[in-house]
Structure 1
């Protein structure tokens, strides 16, 4: 058993793709991000796979200036990876809670860098889709012009503390550009939901956004229902989304629609 590191994404995916597709819901982030990296290679990205008896048991990858993303491993496996990566620049790690903590502690032991807990998210998988009750007035709309989509994405980015998009070029380079957007319209667009392209039968609903002036009217639930229903109609076997565990309102909303929590993730920054 051992970790194998490479900067060759084709070599990496040739060995790791079956593992990633074996659990498409849990592996939603690496599946979508690695698909983008396969199409648009990024210099300096490091990929790793953990093999045992000729089978891949876990993977990781680190983009320049980004946290290491790591699938579930034991504390010993996390320590072995920390040993392999020691001496390389690493800004942090994101993984399921226990794995993130195990790697952060191993990294501190080997580098004396203090890990600082950061972002926490909860992953949900759709069970039985249930329409919101009551359904608000309006209807789902897929077609808005690109300028309008960019404006909405910029407004969402600002709302979550990110930089808005200066122009179409900066938006096209972002993770937003790969998604399909649906809007709920009630005398104009009032809520937005994005969805990733289907990979291994998995679609992730991301992001969901309602401007403050339209909140409290059920629009987020309606547009999330519409996007989820469209994913199922297209043949998705896993429809997932992330939430902020501290946001009681949104977590309750998604449970009513049929989403069930399946994992929690933590990001640590290494300062």
Structure 2
């Protein structure tokens, strides 16, 4: 074992054998590590450019105290760490010459790593994304609900789903191509989707949900085209997909919101999704 305690591997099975119990014990703060581990197990690294991922665990006195994960060509993701723990990881990766184009995690952890990475490499961190992780308490659907109904999307809805997902990706500034050829390789492909339809059957809003991991289901994405906003459709479809995933066996639900958008944060707060923590992504010049 190295003195800093960080054990790095590209083997998912090895990583989960050592760190899986740690991650599953607190699924909400570990939501991104669990989600990407499940996605890698299901798909492998091919859809993300091939190569081996970087998977790390911090071992202290025989126990795991934190993890990191990075897919080929992507940013580094962190579970909650102390400043010293984040600093030791930055020192280790810098010594290896390992590229880190960006880092994301809860605000304090990501900031500590970014500060240490700048110290060791000279790379200047720039805050790029500010999110708010929200955890469901008691689901409180909108009352009254807007006209229409919820309907689970099926295989025949693929074109509509891709159109809505393209709109969502554009809204959040995600650089991704979504069409019939690329759909299976995107992060959008392995979700269950629900539409909110008006009484005449027109889909006006959409919510997706990831397959549950450790009992936790992440609602993502939620999207309403601009022409249909302001009618309560997003609240209604989010409540519907949340209710459905809990009825199917998930024990918890969570979602991310844009920390700078007061409208969406107020909406999810009313539905019962209380604030768990703030998250930040830094890019490095």
TM-score, normalised to structure 2, is: 0.92
CA offset at residue 166 of structure 1?
5.0
SS of the equivalent of 2:188 reads: helix
CA deviation vs aligned residue, 1:12-32 (integer Å, no higher than 9, x gap): 111111111011111111111
Q: Distance in 2 between matches of 1:250 and 1:166?
A: 24
- 2:283 corresponding residue in structure 1: 269
Do residues 220 (structure 1) and 234 (structure 2) align? yes
Structure 1 residue ranges (4+ consecutive) displaced by more than 6 angstroms after TM superposition: none
* Per-residue deviation, residues 73-99 of structure 1 (Å, max 9, x unmatched): 111111111111011111011011111
CA distance in 2, matches of 1:196, 1:167: 20
Structure 2 match to 1:69: 77
Tell me which residue corresponds to 1:118: 128
Does residue 94 (structure 1) correspond to residue 108 (structure 2)? The answer is no
* Corresponding residue number in structure 2 for 1:105: 115
The structural deviation recorded for 1:175 is: 0.5
Q: Give the TM-score taking structure 1 as reference length.
A: 0.96
Between the aligned partners of 1:161 and 1:20, the Cα distance in structure 2 is: 29
Q: CA deviation at 1:11?
A: 0.6
Where 1:90 maps in the other structure, the secondary structure is coil
Equivalence for 1:131: 141
Shift of 1:161: 2.6
Output aligned runs, 1:75-224, within 5 Å.
Answer: 75-86=83-94, 87-144=97-154, 145=156, 146-163=158-175, 165=177, 167-186=179-198, 187=200, 188-224=202-238
Secondary structure of 1:11 counterpart = helix
The structural deviation recorded for 1:176 is: 0.2
2:248 to 234, 238, 244: 234
Which residue number in structure 1 is paired with residue 21 of structure 2? 18
The CA distance in 1 between the partners of 2:236 and 2:141, in whole Å, is 8
Deviation of the 1:169 alpha carbon: 2.3
Query: Aligned match of 2:34 in 18, 31, 35?
Result: 31
Preserved contact between residue 12 and residue 41 of structure 2 (Cα < 8 Å): yes
The CA deviation at 1:165 is 3.5
Gaps of 5+ in 2: 46-50
Structure 1 unaligned runs (5+)? none
Relative to structure 2, which stretch is displaced further, 66-75 or 156-165?
156-165
Deviation string, structure 1 residues 104-161 (Cα, Å, up to 9, x no partner): 1111111111111110100001001111022101000113422222222122222333
Q: How many Å separate the matches in 2 of 1:50 and 1:161? A: 33
CA distance in structure 2 between the aligned counterparts of 1:164 and 1:40, rounded to whole angstroms: 18
1:5 CA drift (Å) = 0.5
Structure 1 residues 109 and 143, CA gap change in structure 2 (3 angstroms): closer
State how many pairs are aligned.
271
How much is the aligned-residue C-alpha RMSD, in angstroms? Answer: 1.3
C-alpha contact 1:125 1:241 (8 A) present in aligned 2: yes
Rounded Cα–Cα distance in structure 2 between residues aligned with 1:254 and 1:189: 21
State the partner residue of 1:55: 63
